[in-house]
Amino acid sequence: MRYTLFLAFLSLVSVTFAVDPRYCQSKTTLDGNDFTLEEIDTPHLSALAEYFNSNGKVTSVTAVLQSANRDLVKRSPPLSNGDGPPAESWAWNSGDDKTTDWIPQGITSSADAYGKGTWNDHEVWIVSWYRKGNGVRVSFIDRQTNKYRHVMLVYPTADDDFETISIHAGGIAWYGNVLYVVDTYNGIRAFDLDNIWEVDIADGVGKTPDGSGYSADEYRYVLPQMRHYNWIAGDASPFRFSWISLDRSDSPDTLMVGEFVSDGETFDDADKTPVPIRYVKYNLDANTRRLQTNNGIATASWASCVDIPNVQGAVSYEGKFYISRSTGRAPKKGDLFIWEEGQTATEQTGWFSAGNEDMSYNLVRGEYYTVTEYDQDRHILAYKV
């Protein structure tokens, strides 16, 4: 992941950032009150949902799984000394493994959804992919059948239309009926898993040219955005929403988001002020499945500086953090860090196969997951804790 535009912006305002209380600079613990998000519901959603409902075109996660049209392949990634032996390793079908148009990024599971491991008796993974140029899709994977199907994420633009979503989708988390997806420069988006729409299998995204229906680039289903949580910048203070995970050991449950920062990144070449690397948690409401807010503002319950660069994902449970760092394409490997606040992280160099990304923790199975991104070497990996 690269953030060229982000760095260009930083170079213009580095003096402001140097004194920003949100930044690390010789401290580890940060004030959660400095990390706030504004909750905004998606306009036009209800009108479009009514159209699909009245036409019998609203479907479910279960129906998507039952119509799965692709197969995972049981295949071990290449291992070398120091690699962690995964409990399971699955590759995509040939087309999804080789494509350079779509790149997998985020992973979550039905264990996140309700904490019991299953969704309507299905054990499920969801994986996000971004398309170079425009588009995000998610794969619904049935772990019993090892079959999966792609669903496109869309944003309602009018009472009778929608469009693709152009974000990196670097991490996802499933909570109740909501799929949370990070939006790198803006915050967190939320999608309604009770409101999956069936569309015509045709070219184009949104209303068809003759106005008789809807399509999504040959995909059968779309998942609409229901709301988003926008980063409140304050004095021009950016945060990179690079990955996300759920922690059910916190009370209440929390979403944790963190930043990908390259090794040695500075605000500009003149003052050499390092770009901070921060992890932030937001409390969740188990009844509404929303972030907890006060007058529409979600305030972080915890924030910390974690000085590990190139991190693509992390999970926390009962105070222990498992952190995924990538180092590039094979033969390079990804690293695992295990960290507890106030202690030095333990590093397992070369633990993951190349291209390790977002992470998710399954408290029922006692295992964590990651997905690798590079074409012709893509896996879903499960590791026992």
Tens digit of each residue's pLDDT (9 = 90 or more) over 272-314: 788 999 999 999 999 999 999 999 999 999 999 999 999 999 9
Which of the residue ranges 10-19, 112-121, 309-318 would you say has the lowest mean pLDDT? Answer: 10-19
Quickly state the pLDDT bin for 1 (edges 50, 70, 90).
very low
Residue 318 has pLDDT above 80, yes or no: yes
Quickly state the pLDDT bin for 337 (edges 50, 70, 90).
very high
Q: Which two tokens stand for residue 364?
A: 């029922």
Q: Which two tokens stand for residue 250?
A: 């916190």
* CB distance 43 to 156 below 8 Å: yes
Mean pLDDT for 238-259 is 97
Q: What is the pLDDT of residue 302?
A: 97
CA–CA gap between residue 336 and residue 325 (Å, rounded): 6
Q: What is the pTM assigned to this prediction?
A: 0.94
Alpha-carbon distances, residue 269 vs 12, 26, 179, 274, 275 (angstroms): 11, 20, 39, 10, 12
Quickly state the pLDDT bin for 270 (edges 50, 70, 90).
confident
Which of the residue ranges 5-19, 40-54, 146-160, 176-190 would you say has the lowest mean pLDDT? Answer: 5-19
Q: What is the pLDDT of residue 256?
A: 98
Q: What is the pLDDT of residue 9?
A: 42
Q: What values do phi and psi take at 111, rounded to 5?
A: -70, -30
Residue 250 has pLDDT above 70, yes or no: yes
Residue 12 has pLDDT above 70, yes or no: no
Contacts 24+ apart (CB under 8 A), 42-47: 42/155, 42/156, 42/224, 42/225, 42/226, 42/227, 42/228, 43/156, 44/156, 44/157, 44/158, 44/159, 45/156, 45/192, 45/195, 45/224, 45/225, 45/226, 47/156, 47/159, 47/160
CA–CA gap between residue 13 and residue 221 (Å, rounded): 43
CA–CA gap between residue 385 and residue 380 (Å, rounded): 16
Q: Is the bond into 43 cis (omega within 30 degrees of 0)?
A: no
Mean pLDDT for 236-241 is 82
Q: What is the pLDDT of residue 268?
A: 76
Q: What is the pLDDT of residue 274?
A: 87
Q: Percent of the chain beyond pLDDT 70?
A: 91
Q: Percent of the chain beyond pLDDT 90?
A: 84
Provide the 10 A C-beta neighbour count for residue 72: 24
CA–CA gap between residue 229 and residue 105 (Å, rounded): 20
The residue ranges of every structural domain in the chain are: 4-384
* CATH topology classification for 4-384: Neuraminidase (2.120.10)
Calculate Rg over the CA atoms of the chain.
Answer: 20
Mean pLDDT for 48-55 is 97
Quickly state the pLDDT bin for 7 (edges 50, 70, 90).
very low
Contacts 24+ apart (CB under 8 A), 14-18: 14/267, 14/268, 14/270, 14/271, 14/273, 16/235, 16/236, 16/237, 17/236, 17/237, 17/267, 17/273, 18/267, 18/271, 18/273
Residue 17 has pLDDT above 80, yes or no: no
Residue 223 has pLDDT above 70, yes or no: yes
